[in-house]
């Protein structure tokens, strides 16, 4: 009987990842254009670990925003819905209630009201100061983008940021909202600038948050915290442009010691590697003849002075550029490269390094010492070899991208 009951209600279950439909609406026609719809990458931060919604048959959750002002519209479309009196007391999930926990109040629920709000985007002006504009050639046409730098104090930006940051819950894992009242936060906003009926218009494409940590005695260490390029604008090199724009701003600031990144995702690390390698490959200390001799203080110093790289990232850039300079058919050169990286990878077993610290943070002292001592020599060699191969594969992607720029 239990099985029958379960199956009976399966049609009322759906994946929130498929049910939620985002749109960034520029004109009324976009509402009925499936090509302008994009789906979330994840929903567990809003709908729980199973990322499922119960109680509706053929559910679509419309989460539409005007492209510039981000005026939000939320609406549920479904064929039928669970009614407790007719369905053994079962309750449908409160989808709007869950969304209200993460979306600022004041979103529209009337389609007509939303349609009436679309033309108001023509009044939108980006927040802060224009720091970079550039053109991307995509699918046979040139598209113009602008990047603005602002603090939270810009009139109207606090409310705008509240709407913008909602997206991170659906596209960045382990995302959390920031305390905007801390004046050390800095924001870089990315917009596409386009013409509609002859008028210049803006559409938000992404953003980045930076926290300026104090470094004794009078320096700062800016940390990249959140970076998001919205799905309709991905795979256009925009994240690299945004990162380089922030870098250029940091280079001009004498008080900046070096730049760090908070817990980067694999995708962001790849963009960061690409930008840093592209910048460093012209430095004298990173020339092939020097790379083949190993990582040096000169490299670290030059990367920090010219490009504000911290030691860990300078070392990573060195490994990528050394791989590029290594003749893989030369057994000695390849062996030397492999041993050099494995020596670094072996560091956690030598009681230092980031992985060692990570283990230390999550395990109790007794578990921690047991973990390190329980790794056999064979397991350690296996770990070193597989991590080496993974890194080489990641580095090759950066080198391949470099070749096309």
Cα–Cα–Cα angle for 20, 24, 28, rounded to 5 degrees: 105
* Encoded tokens for 260: 């760090």
User: What is the helix (H) or strand (E) element at residue 367, kind and residue range?
Assistant: helix 365-374
Query: Cβ distance 209 to 185 under 8 Å?
Result: yes
Query: Cβ distance 283 to 300 under 8 Å?
Result: no
- Cα four-point dihedral sign 203, 36, 229, 19: positive
CA–CA separation, 140 and 160 (whole Å): 33
SS3 (DSSP) at 106: coil
* Encoded tokens for 108: 């529209």
Is residue 262 part of the annotated active site? The answer reads yes
For residues 331, 336, 341, 344, the Cα torsion angle rounded to the nearest 10 degrees is 150
CA–CA separation, 20 and 26 (whole Å): 19
Query: Cβ distance 53 to 94 under 8 Å?
Result: no
Number of neighbouring beta carbons within 10 Å of residue 62: 18
CA–CA separation, 275 and 228 (whole Å): 16
Nearest to 150 by CA among 205, 204, 208: 208
Q: Please give the full DSSP string across 42-54, using - where no structure is assigned.
A: --HHHHTTTTEEE
Question: Which of left, alpha, beta for 129 (phi over 0: left; psi -120 to 50: alpha)?
Answer: beta
Which of these is catalytic: 262, 298, 305, 390? Answer: 262
SS3 (DSSP) at 32: helix
Residues designated as active site: 262
């Amino acid at each position: 009987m239990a099985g029958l009951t379960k199956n009976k209600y399966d049609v009322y279950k759906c994946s929130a990842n498929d049910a939620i439909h985002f749109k960034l609406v520029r004109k009324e026609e976009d509402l009925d254009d499936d090509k302008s719809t994009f789906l979330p990458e994840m929903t567990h931060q809003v709908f729980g670990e199973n990322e499922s919604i119960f109680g509706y048959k053929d559910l679509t959750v419309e989460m539409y925003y005007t492209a510039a002002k981000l005026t939000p519209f939320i609406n549920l479309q479904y064929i039928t819905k669970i009614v407790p009196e007719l369905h053994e007391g079962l309750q449908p999930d409160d989808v709007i209630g869950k969304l209200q926990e993460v979306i600022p109040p004041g979103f529209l629920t009337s389609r007509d009201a939303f349609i009436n709000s679309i033309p108001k985007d023509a009044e939108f002006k980006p927040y802060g100061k224009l720091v970079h504009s550039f053109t991307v050639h995509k699918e046979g046409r040139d598209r113009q983008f602008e990047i603005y730098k602002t603090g939270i104090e810009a009139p109207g930006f606090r409310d705008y940021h509240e709407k913008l940051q909602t997206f991170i819950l659906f596209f960045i894992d382990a995302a959390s909202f920031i305390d905007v009242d801390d004046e050390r936060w800095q924001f870089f906003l990315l917009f596409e600038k386009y013409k509609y009926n002859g008028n210049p218009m803006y559409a938000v494409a992404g953003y980045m948050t930076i926290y300026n940590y104090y470094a004794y005695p009078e320096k700062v260490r800016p940390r990249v915290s959140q970076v998001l390029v919205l799905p309709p604008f991905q795979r256009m090199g925009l994240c690299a442009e945004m990162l380089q724009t922030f870098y250029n701003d940091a280079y001009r600031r004498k008080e900046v010691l070096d730049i760090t990144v908070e817990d980067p995702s694999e995708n962001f690390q790849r963009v960061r590697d690409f930008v840093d390698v592209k910048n460093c490959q012209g430095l004298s200390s990173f020339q092939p003849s020097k790379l083949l001799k190993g990582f040096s203080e000169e490299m670290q110093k030059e990367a920090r002075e010219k490009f504000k790289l911290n030691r860990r990232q300078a070392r990573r850039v060195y490994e990528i550029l050394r791989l590029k300079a290594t003749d893989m058919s030369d057994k000695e050169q390849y062996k030397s490269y492999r041993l050099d990286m494995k020596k670094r990878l072996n560091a956690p077993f030598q009681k230092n390094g980031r992985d060692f610290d990570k283990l230390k943070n999550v395990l109790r002292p007794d578990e921690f010492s047991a973990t390190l001592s329980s790794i056999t020599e064979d397991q350690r060699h296996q770990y070193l070899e597989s991590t080496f191969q993974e890194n080489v594969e990641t580095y090759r992607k950066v080198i391949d991208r470099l070749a096309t720029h």
